Amino acid sequence: MHGSQAPGGRPEVRLAAVLLTGLLVWLLSAPLSAQQPRTGGTLTFIVSAEPPSFDAHREATFALIHPARPHYNLLVKFDPLSYPKVVPDLAESWTISPDGTTYTFKIRRGVRFHDGSVLTSRDIKASYEKIIFPKGDVVSVRAAAYTMVGSVEAPDPATVVFRLKWKSPSFLQNVASPWNWIYNADILERDPHWYERNIMGTGPFKFVEYVRGSHWVGARNEDYWVKGRPYLDGYRAVFIGNAAAQVNAVKSGQALVEFRGFSPPQRDDIVRALGSGATVQESGWLCNNTVVFNSKRKPFDDARFRKALSLAIDRWGGSTALSQIAIVGPVGGLMRPEGPFATPQADLEKLAGYGHDITAARAEAKKLLAEAGVPEGFEFNLLNRNVEMPYRYVAVFLIDQWRQIGLKVNHVVKETGPYLADERAGNFDAAVDFNCDFYDDPDLQLVKFLSVEMPNGAVNALNYGGYIDRTLDRLYDEQSKSEDATRRMTLVRQFEKRLLDDKVWQIYVLWWKRIIPHSSKLHGYKVGPSHYLEDLQDVWISE
């Protein structure tokens, strides 16, 4: 029997249509809702070294900033999702005087430290005075980067004023330094070393525990001043030094990410294992390996010897080969190769050790060694850090390069803490070092190379080589004060030539390339050229 019925007239058809439509709507809306931040969960991430101390003002290693940065706030910060935009953090706004020498920051009200005390401008002033004008035996490795600052004032509880001695084009970015954690003024007054062993900030996560050799745990700050943040219930930083174990931890889902980076084969390995569960982000990296020479020891006090060491290195060949197995990449001068101050190729190739004819360079190196009276088979120690990637790879490469001009190098590897302590104390012949930063600017990247004793009497705690070079200090000052971009670039090139070609106080090996393969469950994270910026405030996990 054939009957006619209006479409959708039968109840079961109507029900099916409604269900299908509902299903369609749900399926279409699912990807959208997946992008909505989810509250809850614990983020586990890898840190490949242990922090030497808990005080960011005296340290320069990711080993501290990765596990501990989420406990603190800054005055202003780089937006991790739209780098290099500077956004408010504890300062809700700021103004700059027309002559560019007075920065006035309005401090957010109602912010509390994790112990319940209220944050005021006094805390900002005390923190910055510890950074810029360290007293007594307090170590501040970035004091030299703030030579332009005349004073820090706190005229009222909600205002902080920086008065500069000269206009500094990158001062705001310098204040956004991820190392400038804001500490409690009362605690600093009682004991300026307290923060070297303790944690107490205003950040999105409170400190729970640190078990040396195992993990660091943070829990959500329920009273955090940004409403609805952080998304995570907490985080767990696990300390894993071995690179293969790190890869396995991400592959197995025991950790979702490592915020420094992996090598191309490690990336491929993770992607193979996780498939669509992996997301890969890549970027240039404001980070490189340098070699610092102890200029107080013979024959490292002789520029000819240091230059010979630089000439012996086949950077171009090393870059091609090592970039296949390690996180190193481009050849560059003092400034990041992909950055605005990068050395032009023609200038670069004129520097010692940057030419393409390695045979000629090594012949010249041997000649310089002979002139400096360094015998064939001369033996010295190369201090290095027990961080496999890329330090171990770079050291193997360097030792082989120097072997080819008749030098015998003993590789001395230490944990991050003792390694940094040896560098600071000058207990080394030569050391594999690093110059990593958070913003492309000569004011920041060149500080490391200034004299150990600055003309104003301050100590440059980043200069482990122990040398004094007033020409470098002068060139730095001139470029820092220069408002003419072309002139500034010229001064940077002069600085570079003196450092890497004439005096060779320190040398650059290779710049790094940042590759972050992470679990697709991780959201609110964007890779940038600095691995120091993540505070986990906006990070969330999807399940």
Partner 1 sequence: MPRVHRRQRTWLARFVRHYPLGAAAGLAILGLASLAALAGYLAPYDPVANDFGAMFAAPSARHWFGTDAFGRDVLSRILYGARTALLVGFASSLVGATIGGIVGVTGAYFGGTIDLLIQRLADIMISFPIIILALAIVAILGSGTVNLIVAIALSFVPRIELVVRASALSVRETAYVEAARAIGARHWRIILRHMVPNVTAPYLVMLTAFLGQAILLEASLSFLGLGVNEPTAAWGLMLSGAAVEFVERAPWMAVFPGLAITLTVLAFNVLGDSLRDALDPRLRT
| Residues contributing to the site for partner 1 (CB under 8 A) | 241-244, 247, 263, 265-266, 269, 317-318, 320-321, 324-325, 386, 388, 392, 395-397, 399-400, 403, 411-414, 418
Q: Which two tokens stand for residue 299?
A: 């024959």
Based on DSSP, count helices (H) and strands (E) in the chain, helices before strands: 16, 18
Shortest distance (Å) from residue 318 CB to partner 1: 8
Residue 377: phi, psi to the nearest 5?
85, 10
Nearest to 58 by CA among 47, 68, 43: 68
Nearest to 178 by CA among 540, 537, 531: 531
Shortest distance (Å) from residue 317 CB to partner 1: 6
H or E stretch covering 205: strand 205-211
Shortest distance (Å) from residue 48 CB to partner 1: 11
- Residue number, 235 or 262, with CB nearest to partner 1: 262
Using CB atoms within 10 Å of the CB of residue 464, give its burial: 0 to 12 exposed, 13 to 18 middle, 19+ buried.
buried
Shortest distance (Å) from residue 163 CB to partner 1: 47
Shortest distance (Å) from residue 405 CB to partner 1: 13
Shortest distance (Å) from residue 49 CB to partner 1: 12
- Residue number, 398 or 444, with CB nearest to partner 1: 398
- Residue number, 66 or 414, with CB nearest to partner 1: 414
- Residue number, 401 or 537, with CB nearest to partner 1: 401
Provide DSSP, 412-430: EEE-HHHHHHHHHHT--SE
Please say whether the beta carbons of 514 and 285 come within 8 A: yes
Per the rule left: phi > 0, alpha: psi between -120 and 50, beta: everything else, 466 is left
Please say whether the beta carbons of 518 and 296 come within 8 A: no
Burial 90-122 (b: 16+ CB within 10 A, else e): bbeebeeeeeebebbbbbbeebebbeeeebbbb
- Residue number, 82 or 324, with CB nearest to partner 1: 324
Shortest distance (Å) from residue 267 CB to partner 1: 11
Taking the C-alpha atoms of residue 527 and residue 259, their distance in angstroms, rounded to an integer, is: 9
Shortest distance (Å) from residue 275 CB to partner 1: 17
- Residue number, 95 or 242, with CB nearest to partner 1: 242
Shortest distance (Å) from residue 486 CB to partner 1: 39
Residue 159 sits at the vertex; the CA angle it makes with 156 and 160, to the nearest 5 degrees, is 110
Burial 141-151 (b: 16+ CB within 10 A, else e): bbbbbbbbbee
- Residue number, 143 or 312, with CB nearest to partner 1: 312
- Residue number, 95 or 324, with CB nearest to partner 1: 324
- Residue number, 53 or 404, with CB nearest to partner 1: 404
Distance, C-alpha 499 to centroid of its chain: 22
- Residue number, 301 or 422, with CB nearest to partner 1: 422
Please say whether the beta carbons of 278 and 518 come within 8 A: yes
Distance, C-alpha 433 to centroid of its chain: 13
Nearest to 419 by CA among 468, 466, 464: 464
Nearest to 235 by CA among 543, 541, 542: 541
Shortest distance (Å) from residue 399 CB to partner 1: 6
Shortest distance (Å) from residue 124 CB to partner 1: 40
Nearest to 111 by CA among 231, 186, 204: 204
- Residue number, 230 or 390, with CB nearest to partner 1: 390
CB atoms within 10 A of CB 512: 27
- Residue number, 241 or 329, with CB nearest to partner 1: 241
- Residue number, 160 or 395, with CB nearest to partner 1: 395
Taking the C-alpha atoms of residue 75 and residue 466, their distance in angstroms, rounded to an integer, is: 32
Shortest distance (Å) from residue 396 CB to partner 1: 5
Burial 175-200 (b: 16+ CB within 10 A, else e): bbbbbbbbbbbebbeeebebbbeebb
Shortest distance (Å) from residue 323 CB to partner 1: 11
Q: Are strands 205-211 and 506-519 parallel, antiparallel or unpaired?
A: unpaired
